[in-house]
């Protein structure tokens, strides 16, 4: 997949099948759209394109918008490479660009520069200034500018509609299992290992304290999680706590700590990718250090039990 990031370089000499969106999460619904783009392109000997935006449009058009993203942009690119798309076109989203009408965007970018011949959209696709463009409007433009349109039907898993919004809500509510089902993979984030209070080591459970790489990346509901981690090419399993350490601190900052099983290397300043396999419990304030140690032991045993199949297969 070739990534085109400079607006001035956006040009396709070959007719194209494309889709447009932010594609936050690159979930199972998005995957169906990408497969449709690829299939139609191959059938017609067209180029397959995914058009997306950086920065996220809502950071430009909504100053007060509290943005929580399922993917960083680099994560999105890595996930998109799996679908065999020919080109990822990244449009620099600015205020002047946002002020275009939906027709100007279609004509000036998709038709004139990207040689659009077929547009694949999701069931809830909106585009253009104030998101006034929809499927009906898009088909009108198709007749005017000589391209066809197909819409991918909504997809459900266990009666849950697959959408980025629903996945964000599930993660924020602590419903990790359902969120992972809609994503089609384990939710993950990458962070840098930083120095912490060393309290975990004093309790007998040394932890890697994490600093996330993007402030807009959604961190799930506070609690304890069974996790699979990637350190360079090495896979490590562990138990993670997201919370404010209420047993020791009142109204403390949010802290992400990972206890890695059978691991004692110095990994300060290393990047650690964390995949959230299962949520074990809520964060709890304990009455004593001894109560906390007892609970951590239980959490570790529970995590090992949950991760057993992954550990044995890896």
Using CA atoms, how far apart are residues 229 and 207, in angstroms rounded to an integer?
13
Rounded CA-CA distance 272/165 in Å is 26
298, 260 Cβ separation under 8 angstroms: no
Per-residue pLDDT of 100-138, as tens digits, reads 888 999 999 999 999 999 999 998 777 766 566 688 889
**Contacts with 305 (C-beta within 8 Å, 6 or more apart), sequence order:** none
Largest pairwise CA distance in the chain? 72
Rounded mean pLDDT, 231-257: 82
pLDDT of residue 252: 64
Q: Which two tokens stand for residue 191?
A: 């962070």
Domains and CATH numbers, the chain: 2-157 (3.40.50.620), 187-313 (2.40.30.30)
Query: For 138-155, what is each residue's pLDDT tens digit?
Result: 999 999 999 999 999 999
Q: What percent of the chain clears pLDDT 90, i.e. is strictly above it?
A: 62
Confidence of residue 203 (pLDDT cuts 50, 70, 90): low
| pTM of the predicted model as reported, rounded to 2 decimal places | 0.91
Residue in the structure block whose two tokens are 């199972």: 28
The angle subtended at Cα 186 by Cα 185 and Cα 189, nearest 5°, is: 125
- Write the DSSP symbol of residue 127: B
């Amino acid at each position: 997949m070739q990534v085109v990031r400079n607006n001035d370089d956006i040009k396709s000499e070959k007719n194209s099948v494309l889709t447009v969106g932010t594609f936050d999460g690159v979930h199972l619904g998005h995957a169906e759209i990408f497969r449709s783009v690829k299939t139609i392109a191959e059938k017609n000997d067209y180029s397959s394109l995914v058009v997306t935006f950086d920065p996220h449009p809502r950071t430009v058009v909504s100053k007060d918008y509290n943005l929580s993203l399922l993917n960083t942009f680099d994560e999105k690119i890595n996930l998109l490479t799996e679908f065999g798309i020919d080109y990822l076109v990244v449009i620099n989203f600015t205020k002047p660009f946002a002020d275009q009408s939906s027709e100007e965007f279609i004509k000036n970018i998709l038709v004139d520069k990207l040689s659009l011949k077929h547009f694949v959209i999701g069931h809830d696709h909106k585009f253009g200034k104030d998101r006034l463009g929809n499927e009906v409007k898009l088909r009108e433009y198709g007749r005017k500018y000589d391209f066809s349109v197909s819409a991918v039907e909504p997809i459900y898993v266990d009666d849950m509609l697959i959408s980025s919004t629903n996945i964000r809500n599930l993660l924020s509510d602590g419903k990790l299992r359902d969120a992972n089902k809609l994503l089609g993979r384990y939710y993950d984030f990458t962070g840098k290992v930083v120095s912490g209070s060393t309290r975990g080591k004093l309790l007998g459970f040394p932890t890697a304290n994490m600093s996330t790489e993007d402030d807009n990346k959604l961190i799930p509901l506070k609690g304890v999680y069974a996790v699979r981690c990637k350190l360079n090419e090495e896979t490590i399993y562990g138990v993670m706590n997201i919370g404010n350490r209420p047993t020791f601190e009142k109204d403390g900052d949010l802290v992400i700590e990972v206890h890695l099983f059978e691991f004692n290397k110095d990994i300060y300043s290393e990047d650690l990718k964390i995949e959230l396999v299962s949520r074990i419990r809520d964060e709890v304030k304990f009455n004593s250090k001894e109560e906390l140690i007892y609970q951590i032991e239980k959490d570790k045993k529970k995590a090992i039990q949950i991760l057993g199949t992954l550990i044995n297969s890896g």
